[in-house]
Amino acid sequence: MLKPEADVRTTAPAADGPAALEIRDLSVSFRTSSGDVDAVRGVDITVRSGTTHAIVGESGSGKSVTMMGVLGLLPEEAQVSGSIRYLGKELVDAAPAELRAVRGAEIGVIFQDPLSSLNPVMTVGAQILESMTAHRGTAAGATWKRAAELLAEVGIPEAERRVKEYPHQFSGGMRQRVMIAMALAAEPRVLIADEATTALDVTVQAQILRLVQRITAERSMTTIWISHDLGVVAQIADDITVMQSGRVVERGSCHDIFAAPREAYTIALLESMPRLDAPLRELPPRATATGTAAVDVRDLEVAYQVKRGLRTGNRLVRAVDDVSLEIAAGETVGLVGESGSGKSTFARALLGLEPMRHGTVHLAGQDVAGARRASLSALRRNAQMVFQDPSSSMNPGLSVQEIVTEPLLINHRMSASGRRARAAELLELVELDPQLARRHPHQLSGGQRQRVAIARALSLEPSLLVCDEPVSALDVTVQTQILGLLRRLQADLGVSLLVISHDLAVIRDIAHRVAVMYLGKIVEVGDREAIFGSPQHPYTRALLGAVPTPDPTKRFPPTPLQGDPPSPLSPPPGCRFHSRCPAAVIGRCDTTVPTLTAWTPTHDVACVRLGEPELTRQT
């Protein structure tokens, strides 16, 4: 698939404007105890002034290492050769002082995780001030007023007051805005965003993308956007460089690359990305028998006591609040929602990993809540879980065989030799070479590890497989394979799946039915065609509207959804979504708690204004 690097083609002449940043033949290698690792091998990138340049690639492609090189932030073990020029000034062996004059002052950075990039014991205003004085070498002009102006510029309401607050008092999206304000503090001409929206919910991501676009346009800045997400890139980039294994595979203008990718790797990337505008994929047929549902949840509530101050006493947080959901045998139900919506808690409660406050859970017709320990264990074997991150969900000290057969060992099924045979069977079932049984998890790739995790979950032949974000830790090309495997396993084994994801495109690719959760409640549930074809709830519509389409000709309309999801500690009264809902009517939505009502026989919606013609117009 990969051509020799001499064959890298340029789809369009990349350099017609003046270059802000020119990277020439950059190579970075790391000395490790097991030999040199070449992270970047001879990369050329030209970033035109005043444009947004996206560097796209999967994990290990060298895109972040390249940018760390630009910033002079590589670890000491790194060996760098080649040239990096910022406005003609060489950065590669610049003296630390020269480098500092550029980094931060001329080139600002936003990282992926705003929480770990902000100092928790300094107010955000102080951190912005620090960023101003550190780069200018003078405190002149670095005033709290200026800091507040910056916060206001990045869309933080009540900036005058919030400038004195600490990072933990901000939500995830707001923290990322603070990071942007810090990056802007020294008035840089170039902004580097390294996976800056990856950790955010889609509605917040859409807000941040618009914000960065607006600010960079207003200040005529150059932006370098590093991302694995082609959807995001299509929405904002002017030029694109595609990287793989430390080399540039393809470069060109955004429109050209999306319209006519030329390299096999780029084509594969674009094709494997699940997208909302692709034709609906054929799914294995659901079992038509009217037998008992694989899962029947009624009015499930999971709540935690949260300790607060002495005077205020403890508070009850309802992570899952009166949720009912049914999954038929052989059916896949997708559960979507932003972080904090309670979707993972719901799944864990199904498996008996979270205490239920009330409600009932029936697995294959048997009541889980009422079960005693012995029968509970029998029930648990009926439902197994696949976790988000395969590398953390397996003990690194065990071999693949031990991992795959662990459920058999725990439940005293089979002898050691029987387990060995079963391990081989299971590995074949998930399309892995049985030879891998003797390996350890760290010797496997991410995709292989997730297959092992699936094999482990299947070893007890459960009737329900709960997959919590099964592909979100994987590269897109691997995602497609894992989703394909899950569909095939369902067709072959008739297992029911509950797939939890924040990624609507993934859900659309695998689920027969979809449930949308917001702050512990299901707001809309229905067949895939109904949810993606004619969503009724304003939240579902906003979610769908916020997903970046990997097509530069279809850039975002203004996103209707503002703000962040409120804290589950103090959910808004009435309809929990009303505080962000563009169609909310004060007096109704904040007083009446909507219940799930049948819109069509296979489509339930919980909205007070369901069916009103204005609802459709306003959202």
Binding site for another protein (CB under 8 A): 5-6, 8-10, 13-15, 24-25, 27, 29, 31, 41-42, 44, 46, 76-83, 90, 92-93, 248, 251, 351-353, 377, 380-381, 383-385, 387, 389, 392-395, 397, 406-407, 410-411, 456, 460
Residues 6+ apart with CB under 8 A from 575: 581, 584, 589, 590, 592, 593, 594, 606, 607, 608
Q: Determine contact, residues 37/27, Cβ cutoff 8 Å.
A: no
**CB burial of residue 42 (10 Å; 0-12, 13-18, 19+):** middle
CB of 389 to another protein, least distance (A): 7
Closest to another protein by CB, 356 vs 505, is 356
Closest to another protein by CB, 486 vs 514, is 486
Chain-centre distance for alpha carbon 195: 10
CB of 393 to another protein, least distance (A): 4
Closest to another protein by CB, 283 vs 460, is 460
Q: How far apart are CA 605 and CA 116, in angstroms?
A: 38
CB of 15 to another protein, least distance (A): 6
CB of 522 to another protein, least distance (A): 23
Q: Which residue, 199, 267, 248, is CA-closest to 53?
A: 248
Distances in Å between the alpha carbon of 488 and those of 88, 272, 329? 55, 17, 15
Q: How far apart are CA 155 and CA 207, in angstroms?
A: 10
Give the single-character DSSP code of 524.
E
Q: Determine contact, residues 336/343, Cβ cutoff 8 Å.
A: yes
CB of 27 to another protein, least distance (A): 7
Closest to another protein by CB, 25 vs 299, is 25
Closest to another protein by CB, 81 vs 119, is 81
Closest to another protein by CB, 81 vs 435, is 81
Closest to another protein by CB, 78 vs 593, is 78
**CB burial of residue 17 (10 Å; 0-12, 13-18, 19+):** middle
Closest to another protein by CB, 298 vs 413, is 413
CB of 457 to another protein, least distance (A): 9
Closest to another protein by CB, 13 vs 313, is 13
Closest to another protein by CB, 17 vs 42, is 42
Rounded to 10 degrees, what is the CA torsion of 600, 603, 608, 609? -60
CB of 555 to another protein, least distance (A): 27
Q: How far apart are CA 42 and CA 54, in angstroms?
A: 18
Pairing of strands 496-501, 464-468: parallel
- Encoded tokens for 107: 């080139």
- Please report where in the chains the tokens 């003609």 appear, as a residue: 88
Q: How far apart are CA 53 and CA 17, in angstroms?
A: 13
Q: DSSP string covering 81-131, please?
A: EEEEEETTEE-TT--HHHHHHHBTTTEEEE-S-HHHHS-TTS-HHHHHHHH
- Encoded tokens for 574: 């009435």
CB of 248 to another protein, least distance (A): 8
Closest to another protein by CB, 10 vs 292, is 10
Using H for helix, E for strand and C for coil, what is the string for 473-492?
Answer: CCCHHHHHHHHHHHHHHHHH
CB of 365 to another protein, least distance (A): 19
CB of 22 to another protein, least distance (A): 8
Provide Rg for the chain, Cα atoms.
26
Closest to another protein by CB, 119 vs 377, is 377
Closest to another protein by CB, 41 vs 420, is 41
Strand ranges inside 254-412, DSSP E: 295-306, 315-327, 332-336, 358-363, 366-367, 383-386
Closest to another protein by CB, 88 vs 587, is 88
CB of 30 to another protein, least distance (A): 10
- Encoded tokens for 197: 């929206």
Distances in Å between the alpha carbon of 434 and those of 375, 422, 430, 479? 33, 10, 10, 22
What sign has the CA pseudo-torsion 256, 260, 265, 267?
A: positive
CB of 309 to another protein, least distance (A): 19
CB of 385 to another protein, least distance (A): 5
- Encoded tokens for 499: 């797939």
CB of 452 to another protein, least distance (A): 12
Q: How far apart are CA 122 and CA 116, in angstroms?
A: 13
CB of 176 to another protein, least distance (A): 25
What sign has the CA pseudo-torsion 409, 413, 415, 416?
A: negative
Closest to another protein by CB, 41 vs 588, is 41
Closest to another protein by CB, 92 vs 270, is 92
- Please report where in the chains the tokens 């070449």 appear, as a residue: 38
CB of 247 to another protein, least distance (A): 9
